A and B are shown apart, each in its own frame.
Chain A
Amino acid sequence: MRRHWLSTGMAAALVAFGLAACGSGGGSSASTGLQIWEGYTGAEATAFKHLLSEWNAAHPSEKVTYLFVNNDNSLPKLLTAVRGGSQPDIAYVYGSWAPNVAQIPQVVNLTQVVQRSGVNWTDFWVGERDVATVKGKVIGIPALVDNLAVVYNKALFAQAGLSPPTPNWTWTQFMADAKKLTNPAKKQFGTAYVTPGSEDTVWHWEALLWEAGGQILNSSNTQAAFNSPAGLEALNTIRTMAVTDKSMYLDPTDSEYANLFNSGKIGMLVTGPWDLSGFPNVHYGVQVMPSFAGTNGGHQTISGPDNWVIFNNGASRVAAAEQFLLWMTAEPQDTYFSLHTGDLPIRASQEHASGFLQQMNTALPGVDTFVSNLNNVKQARPQLATYPKISQILGTMIVSVLLGKSQPQAALASAAQQVNQALASG
């Protein structure tokens, strides 16, 4: 009896294995169609699929199929595929990877492509173009743009008797507001900061550095430049809130701050438009970043654009991929995408398209401020292959100061020294 059961089981396994081996969809991605790897979920996924089906209906000979690849894991998957010679035709690539991804031989050089008539390359926000270009070579077409601004809880402001932030506010006011909004008895904090030590920690601070009139590196990208009065002011600002005023909630896992804000426990957040849909329970307002009085940084902010990158799987596929992407990022399609997802428009001209901002704001209140805030994006992070190393050094510096483990002046000096070493050996 047991024998029959076991041998039947083995036979079944062999059959299943055989079926699986032979039967699973005659091979990989459609050999004629293009494959695009992206990590869209929720509303973005729905809008994207809609546009895809629109394209596929109009271009039956150049069908595009998508593969969902969660963005957190997309780099290992992409690099493995590249090394194995199985790269996709198009992939969604984080902007921070651009300087390194540009070195992949299969990545297509789009410098001439974006100059074609009708593309209107300069219509893309300057922050996007900066991140899509590595050493003068255009390696991607902008897929997403965002920026940092301040989202605040109107109810908490009213409760504390504070008037809401104005477009010309300063960091001194931000700190004072944060202090007033902090209430230990109610476990309420004025603001929050993410402290995993990753780029998320760093780019928040770089915005302050720029607002204080400082720079990350010198103009030739050979030396650290953040060890300056501007850097000190930027670092001292967050340090005061974290260590002295204790008005800053520190989130070491990058997973709590948004839900905390949505639960009314945090007064102000420096964050981007992607978080807005996560605040259904709060009446929030959006304001530009504060400025530092007496500097020329203004209300500058930082942007984190991402790119569509094309991989060379043959001339005809590259041509089809270029055609598809130029269509996807053209004004009508991007308008559709922005209106249905709340993502910022990737083309500057859309900001002034009639009715556009109102429509976006109806769907997602406060996003219009983020759109116009794109005009405050004046520069991008250094497009260097060694930037990840610089980011880690800066991340350690910031977390160490926020946890009260080092003094800002010494931390800046030490970090500058390490960055110079990394730049020299990089």
Chain B
Amino acid sequence: MSAPAIPIPAAAARKRRRRLPFSPWHLVLIPATLVLIFPFAWLLITSVETSSEALRFPPLLTPHHLEFSNYPQALQGAPFGRFFINSAVVAVTVVIGNLVLCSLAGYAFARYRFLGRGLLFALIMATLMVPFQVTMIPQFIITKWLGVHLLAGVGINHIGALILPNAATAFGVFFLRQFFRTLPIEYEEAARVDGASRLKVLWRIVLPLSGPALSTLAALTFLDSWNNFLWPLIAITSTNNMTLPLGLATFQGAHSTEWPLLMAGNVMSLAPMMVIFFVAQRYFVRSVAATGIAGA
């Protein structure tokens, strides 16, 4: 490499010197990724092992016999199609509910000054601080009461009972409040001066700028709802209304677990979540309009 005739800034000079065919970050990311996905690899491998090869310790990472029939076999023991639909209905509704309700509440906590705002936010955060193992019995009784006195569909053993308690979460409110506070308020103030209603400001100005946060919230809420085990376990009392995690538990016995089938079930349960994430990922890239404020 010959010395340049014209002096160039230091940053550009650094770029010139590094002439690898790929970004050096790959050298960091590849080992990191291997560590991150290692358990997932074990999960995949176990899911195609025969049960006798799965019953080894240390686990066998190179099985001699691949048993792909674990997948259809896993689906046979219980009505997994039904479980999938139940999980999907719950998860989608919960995600949409959270996006709407937590945006409204999060925005109000971030931008509006109203009486009791601080106390209310503290109370909401407080709901995160008592473990579910203690609150599940009162929650069960409340749900049963609602089912009898309000609407049968949200009572015990109904899918609605899995949706309603999670339709708005303290996590979502907290997360979006933090995010909205990072947005420059000038856009919103300008729109208000122009006569826009508060709702319109939220809808037309703030939400479009919140792509990364909303898609992150959607992905995380979906994940949480999809994997939720303890509350559905307590609330659902008939097989037809079970969700996927409950269905997967049917492979776990008191003394013996059918590991290959359980792992196959786990892989099939993971797949929709991976798809969701892949799709949501594209919205992580912010729209060009939000990359800067004029003059700021």
List residues of A whose CB falls within 8 A of some B CB: 2-3, 6, 9-10, 12-13, 16-25, 27-29, 35, 39-42, 44-45, 65-73, 76-77, 79-81, 83-86, 88, 256, 258-260, 262-263, 265, 272, 274-275, 277-281
Contact = CB atoms under 8 A, between A and B. Distances in A.
Contacts of B157: 24-25, 27-29
Contacts of B257: 41
A263 B93 contact: no
Q: Which 3 A-B pairs have the closest CB atoms?
A: A21-B153, A259-B57, A41-B253
Which label, helix, strand, loop or mixed, suits the secondary structure of the B interface?
helix
Interface in B138-168: 140-141, 144, 151-154, 156-160, 163
Residue in A25, A67, A77, A84 whose Cβ sees the most chain B Cβ within 10 Å: A84
A84 B52 contact: no
Contact of B51 (A10, A40, A275, A280): A280
The binding surface of chain A is classed by DSSP as helix
Contact of A80 (B89, B140, B207): B140
Given A39-B253, A44-B253, A29 B136 contact: no
A20 B88 CA distance: 11
Nearest to B52: A280
Interface in B240-276: 240-241, 246, 249-258
Contact of B152 (A27, A77, A260, A274): A27
Contacts of A68: 78, 239, 246, 249-250
B209 interface: no
Interface of B: 51-52, 55-58, 77-78, 86, 89-90, 92-93, 96-97, 100, 133, 136-137, 140-141, 144, 151-154, 156-160, 163, 203, 207-208, 230, 233-234, 237-241, 246, 249-258
Contact of B254 (A13, A20, A72): A72
A16 B93 contact: yes
A323 to B, nearest CB: 22
Contact of B255 (A3, A260, A275): A275
Given A27-B157, A39-B254, A21 B151 contact: yes
B237 A281 contact: no
Contact of B89 (A20, A39, A88): A20
24 contacts: A2-B208, A9-B96, A16-B89, A16-B92, A19-B89, A21-B151, A21-B153, A21-B154, A24-B160, A29-B157, A41-B256, A41-B257, A44-B253, A65-B239, A67-B239, A70-B250, A73-B230, A76-B234, A80-B234, A83-B137, A84-B137, A86-B156, A258-B55, A265-B57
Given A29-B157, A35-B238, A86-B144, 14 more contacts: A20-B89, A20-B159, A20-B160, A24-B86, A40-B253, A45-B250, A68-B78, A77-B233, A80-B140, A81-B237, A83-B137, A262-B55, A265-B57, A274-B255
